Structure 1
Amino acid sequence: MYHKYELEFPNSWQDILNVAETNLAGELEYRRGNYTLAFEQLREFIKYYNNMIYAEPWGWMQSQRHAYAALQLEQSNVEEAARTYEDLSYADSFPRVVRHPNNV
């Protein structure tokens, strides 16, 4: 039997801390000028965030894609920044359940 809290807030603290740690690591490495490592960390940030269970309120409020795409744009990596948001659009390579065409 589940505790009421587990049903209302299904993500573990470890899941949330993984998101926080990779977000912070990526942002810090970027500011240090270690762009390759920074983007590796931020891709991990996206992976951890995407694997969180959807809940209200969100387990992590900051958009994981926003930081990654913004920093890619800052480095003139326009195509990579655009790919970050593909599954929020009409990309047929994603299952219908994860496409959100009205978010564009």
Structure 2
Amino acid sequence: DTHVQMARELGLNPDKFGKIDNHKQEVWKAPLPKFIEEIFYKRFKKERPDVVKPLKQILKEQEIKAKAKKKDKEIRRKEREQKQADNGTDEVLPSNPQPRIAE
């Protein structure tokens, strides 16, 4: 979990680790965990992340955040529909109306 989180903070894609981890064929390369630790230290000047979260927890937090965002969007849509019903029009009101310029 630590190395995966370090790689994610560095902007590396954990799905591509197979391409990076090639130290058996190319002996001059460092093993992947050591390579990640070295570049993490270079960028952040610390050995490990402050808080290490398991990947399952990170995915769960993202899912909760996405659900909350979807719920907020649904609430805004219902408010907009209610406003249209109160106006008595069938036209679609823009979500951000442009101010009219008086001539």
Q: TM-score range by the shorter chain?
A: under 0.3
Q: TM-score, normalised by structure 1?
A: 0.25
Higher relative contact order structure (alpha carbons within 8 Å, sequence separation ≥ 6): 2
Larger radius of gyration: 2
Q: TM-score, normalised by structure 2?
A: 0.25
